[in-house]
Amino acid sequence: MRTAVVERNTNETQISVDINLDGNGCYDVSTGIGFLDHMLEQLSRHSLIDLKVKATGDLHIDFHHTTEDSGYAVGEAVAQALGDRKGINRYGSFFIPMDETLTRVALDCSNRPYLIWRVDMPAPKLGDMDSELFKEWFQAFAQSAGITLHVENIYGENTHHIVESCYKGLARALKQAIDIDPRQADSIPSTKGVLGGSL
């Protein structure tokens, strides 16, 4: 089983993540930020990754540190659980329609972190959460997971729908990329024989 447990403790946040890449989409998430919890639950459910996240942070200041650090911790757990990434499909892409919204997510589990974020938020806030913080989560996740990640909202009007389609798109593209291809189960999906470093 491809599993990992990550503890991330700073003066601003204390976060624990328990992950099973070969799960059934079971989740137990508590960050103190309701909408972020909802998005991490979507990530788990639609990727079939079992995910436990417990976070406490300086929410009396704002939601920035808890949001960003949870992205780092979840990404680090994914990276640890993937190990040497032997046998994975490596690439994944998905279109997610959600009412009036359409979002495309494409990724490469390359061990070369990079984020392209082409997502405009019509509303500056979702509840008490600043909409700009979602880019920070995706940036932190891509960085620590070692994933080249492209997220593009093609069109949409409702900020809730736009953000949720980004997380669902990540979930489905990630599921595709981390699945094991039985034809190459014992090999690294690269002509270099290792993932990461230069092209």
Residue ranges of the alpha helices (H) in 50-126? 64-82
Helix (H) or strand (E) holding 197: none
Query: Which pLDDT score, from 0 to 100, does residue 81 have?
Result: 98
Distance from CA of residue 61 to its chain's centroid? 24
Tens digits of residue pLDDT in 119-154: 999 999 998 899 999 999 999 999 999 999 999 999
Mean pLDDT of the chain: 95
95: CB partners within 8 A, 6+ apart: 102, 103, 104, 169
Instruction: Give mean pLDDT, residues 108-124.
Output: 96
Domains of the chain (ranges plus CATH)? 3-184 (3.30.230.40)
How many Cβ atoms from other residues are within 10 Å of residue 17's Cβ? 25
Residues of the chain with pLDDT > 70, as a percent, come to: 97
Confidence of residue 197 (pLDDT cuts 50, 70, 90): low
- DSSP category for residue 170: H
CA distance linking residue 24 with residue 8, whole number of Å: 25
Instruction: Give mean pLDDT, residues 181-197.
Output: 76
Distance from CA of residue 185 to its chain's centroid? 24
pTM: 0.94
Helix (H) or strand (E) holding 99: none
